[in-house]
Structure 1
Amino acid sequence: MNFLAARVIPFENNTPVPIIQISEALAKKLKLPEHISLLTIQCSRNTMTCNIVTINIVENVLKMDRSIQKSLFLFEEERTYLITYNRESNTLHIGPVVALLTEIGMKDEESIDLKSIEEYCMELANYSEDIGIIFYVFSLHNHWKEKYIEGYYLENSNWNKALLPYPQVVHNRLHKRTNEKSEMFHELTEQLQEWEIPYFNDHFLNKWTVHEQLAAADYLAPYLPETALFSAKRLESWLETHSTLFLKPINGSQGKQIFKVSKTEEGYTLDYSSLQQQVSQPYSSITDLYKRLSPEIKKRQYILQQGLDLLHLDGRPVDFRYLCHRAENNRWQVTSSTARASKSGSFVSNLAQGGEMLSVTYVLRTKFDTRELPQIRKLLKELALEVANEIASASEGVFGELGIDLAIDTDGHPWIIEVNTKPSKNLDQPANARSIRPSAKAVIIYCLYLIHEHLKER
């Protein structure tokens, strides 16, 4: 089943019978029956039976009665849509519908606030419009059983509220774990499953689950730092064999609430961030150290992780973020990669904590011989893809996008640090306001693939 891009032009029909006019060129490419006079036109879950006539135009043009346009919840203005024809059901499918689920705030009475993914959503919308896909953003609400959804579509750089066709695929970009555990989210996913609508990245993965999944793959074991769930007994025993340990909340993100414990001649040092300030506190005994950590451990579950002697740049630890996406053939590809150096005095490289973004090649050149760089870059890329494959295979649900954090120690050995199911969109910024980065294109292409596979199976 092939999609064709066609210009859809609305017109006023003064007769009571709904009608579409299709150019001979488009009818031929869609392989419509020669003497067809009636068909069903469909956009997502909305259908309408209408008359059809051919018109002598060489371009791919479809003129649509405005009554049809309103029934299908299509945009009012002239627009390009992707179209496909199913001969068995005599149905013309128009405009694949892609929707992104996220939290939507308000800047003022008329302007919505998409927070850190505003530019990313605009890129998705612009690219969708360029190739003929209906794209919009929406948030959780209580009405999922309708054939339309209240959402926001982009027009002239502004998000406009409208009733829009029910999505044929949903990309989950909710930022808060509490929203994913809400009754509204549960109702939405139940409805999507009932109607067999694909959705991806439907849940966060915690750090312990990720570690267990990767540790189950023997070939990845050499790249995993020693990791376990936190306990006071384990903290004490590990500090006998490791000079540095990290405590990370299993549901943490953006480098927050991470503690670094170092063994010293006088006892121990605890480093952490507090109100954007780096704090370093000495403790003479393991008992005193645990007393300080105890309130944090009671609030949330932590993992304990072996400290690594990582590459540093100007005294700042460096790691590497590889953004991976599923392609049309369902195989993973790397769409972007970047190095991140922590801010001076910090041990976390997240941009949210003041980290600096650098090119992978630039960082590697400061530590390795130029002749070694191609092999190191290849190894990092292959490792990121293996991690993405393993996580996608071992996890419930569908994942179409993952952020893989890797690092290299001073001996040149690569390590798997973390996997992000809702990776930051600040790491591969577009060159200008109208350019579209590869990661945004990859998401839309994957959505199109999921829709195509879904239509093919029906």
Structure 2
Amino acid sequence: MNFHIVRVVPFESMHSVPIIQVSEALAKKLKLPRDITLLELQCSRNTISAPVVCIKGEDFTIRLDPSILHSLLLFEEEKNYLISFDHANQKLVIGPVIGLLTEITLKEEGIDLKSIHEYCQELANYSDEIGAIFYVFSIPDQWAAPSIEGYFYENDSWKRYTLPFPQVIHNRLHKRTNERRQMFQDFTQALQEWKIPYFNDHFLDKWTVYKQLQEAEHLQPFLPETALYSKESLMSWLDKYSTIFIKPINGSQGKQIFKVCKMPDGFALSYSSIQQEVSSTYSTFAELYKRLSSHIKKKHYIIQQGLDLLDLDGRPVDFRYLCHRGENHRWRVTSSVARASKAGYFVSNLAQGGEMLTVSKALRTRYEREELLHLRQHLKEIALEVADVVGMVSEGIYGELGIDLAIDHTGRPWIIEVNTKPSKNLDSTPSSPTVRPSAKAIILYCLYLIDETIKEAK
């Protein structure tokens, strides 16, 4: 369906019933039937019919009575909207309506969207620029009505409104526990029944992703050996490797990761938390296992082989590739950065004090230009392959993935991790109103999903 940016102007009709006025230029562009006298207007799940007349005008303009705007839950002020004409049903469609689902904290000065606050502003600004309706909302108590309570960004602040029900939803819940709540399960079930697409479907744990990638033969050479944590696997792995990592299946931000190194007189254990990194030594395996057990308890962890990674002055380096889907669900890289750990730390996450730098700058410390270009292209290709596999085999729709890669001292790339809710602090948060490519990619993918849903409904 072809969308056109149209200026929608409220006006008080002098007629006894509200009417729709369409500029001649727009009527021609939309190929409205010349003899049309009654037009159905639709915005998401809200519709209204009214008489329609053409008015002189070379720009794309629709003039609507405030009562029509009110019925469609649109703002009763002049705005640009994306509009299309459904010839099969003789219907003018206003929208699209995009909702971002996340946790919302109410504060005196407004709402707090945690780590994605500025990012949501970018999404809102870009949507306003192209004529899409974008807002943020939390899991509603009721969702049978054709409207929803959400927050719309205007005049540099988020304001609460009753808004049209979203036609596509981007899941940016921060907590796995919220995805496990019955309310979320019921809500997403209703979305599926109504054929309203939503992405990213749910958090994927490290073990699930590892098994998915292991099935892809062409990616197996880049996967560190990985197993579920147990006393037996820990013992056998310490016989096999001099260094291993123990990671929580559902961890994030580099928290609660253990590094175990074999030493001549025992084992060295390092542990990462959000505040600090703690190291200690143990003379026997029993002592080591007892200490690990006090941390791990009943949580699920994986064991991963230690890698001798590229470093900057002894600080391990990894690479984050942010990948987005577009038309025909094809993946592309929208940003890439390198991360060097804080001095003395073994995790590179920015939340742990890591340093962000360009991929080329990180590679330049070890490689000449020709090899640098080859490695950079190779990393990009692996990231796209990983995104393609995970997006293809995972249940639900995924439109955005953060792929963490690394390079060892022999120049061999490794797949470290896949993030289904990637951080928004890694693709150069703008200091100006500029909208990042990652934000544009999300909105454009939303438009694509809506368009595909409309086509399937015909």
Q: Same fold per TM (> 0.5)?
A: yes
Q: Separation in 2 of the partners of 1:301 and 1:260? A: 16
Contact 1:8 1:81 in 2 (8 A): yes
Distance (whole Å) between structure 2 residues aligned to residue 81 and residue 196 of structure 1? 23
| Segment of structure 1 superposing worse, 268-277 or 126-135 | 268-277
The structural deviation recorded for 1:168 is 0.3
The equivalent of 1:451 in structure 2 is 450
Residue type of the alignment partner of 2:4: L
Q: For 2:234, what is the secondary structure of its paired residue? A: helix
2:71 is the alignment partner of 1:85: no
Q: State the 4+ residue runs in structure 1 displaced beyond 6 angstroms.
A: none
Q: Distance in 2 between matches of 1:120 and 1:407?
A: 26
Runs of at least 5 residues in structure 1 that lack an aligned partner in the other structure? none
Post-superposition shift, 1:274? 4.3
Local SS of the residue matching 1:290: helix
Q: Distance in 1 between matches of 2:228 and 2:288?
A: 18
Q: Distance in 1 between matches of 2:208 and 2:263?
A: 32
Backbone CA RMSD of aligned residues: 1.0
Q: Partners in 2 of 1:231 and 1:182 — Cα distance?
A: 29
The corresponding residue for 2:72 is 72
1:188 & 1:16 partners in 2: Cα distance? 41
Tell me the equivalent position of 1:210: 209
Partner of residue 12, structure 2: 12
8 Å CA contact 1:8, 1:64 repeated in 2 = yes
Q: CA deviation at 1:432?
A: 2.8
Q: Distance in 2 between the 1:247 and 1:444 partners?
A: 37
The 5 Å alignment of 1:285-434 reads: 285-434=284-433
* Helix, strand or coil at the partner of 1:68: helix
User: Contact 2:143–2:187 at 8 Å: present in 1 too?
Assistant: yes
The one-letter amino acid of 2:164's match is P
For 1:101-138, what per-residue CA distance to the aligned partner results, in whole angstroms no more than 9, with x for missing partners?
Answer: 00000231x50001110110000000000001000000
What CA deviation, in whole Å up to 9, does each residue of 1:142-197 have, x standing for no partner?
11111000000000111010000000000000000010011111121011111100
Aligned-partner SS, 1:7: strand
**1:383-407 per-position Cα deviation (integer Å, ceiling 9, x unaligned):** 0000000001110000000000000
Q: Which runs of 5+ in 2 are unaligned?
A: none
Task: State the aligned residue count.
Answer: 457
State the identity %: 63
Worse overlay, 376-385 or 265-274: 265-274
Amino acid in structure 1 at the alignment position of 2:432: A
SS in 1 for 2:329: coil
In the alignment, the residues of structure 1 paired with residue 425 and residue 11 of structure 2 have an alpha-carbon distance, to the nearest angstrom, of 42
Q: Secondary structure at the match of 1:135?
A: strand
In the alignment, the residues of structure 2 paired with residue 145 and residue 187 of structure 1 have an alpha-carbon distance, to the nearest angstrom, of 12
Instruction: Report the CA distance shift for 1:141/1:206 in structure 2 as closer, same or farther (over 3 A).
Output: same
1:131 corresponds to which residue?
A: 130
CA–CA distance in structure 1, aligned partners of residues 298 and 344 of structure 2: 26
Match of 1:231 in 2: 230
Determine if contact 1:430/1:436 at 8 Å carries over to the other structure. Answer: no
Aligned partners of 1:431 and 1:192: how far apart in 2?
34
Range 330-339 or range 272-281, more displaced: 272-281
Contact 2:140 2:148 in 1 (8 A): no
1:195 aligned onto 2:194: yes
Q: Deviations over 1:263-318 (max 9, x none)?
A: 00111000013462221100000000000011223231000000000000011000
> Tell me, what secondary structure is at the counterpart of 2:145?
coil
- Aligned equivalent of 2:256: 257
Deviates more, 1:199-208 or 1:15-24: 15-24
SS in 2 for 1:240: helix
> Counterparts of 1:431 and 1:216 in 2: how far apart (Å)?
38
CA offset at residue 47 of structure 1?
Answer: 0.2
Q: Which residue number in structure 1 is paired with residue 182 of structure 2?
A: 183
Give the AA of the match of 1:65: D
C-alpha contact (below 8 Å) 1:144/1:187 kept by paired residues:
no
Q: For residue 237 of structure 1, what is the amino acid of its counterpart?
A: S
Q: How far apart, in 2, do the equivalents of 1:115 and 1:2 lie?
A: 35
Q: Supply the AA of the counterpart residue of 1:61.
A: T
- Deviation of 1:18 (Å): 2.2
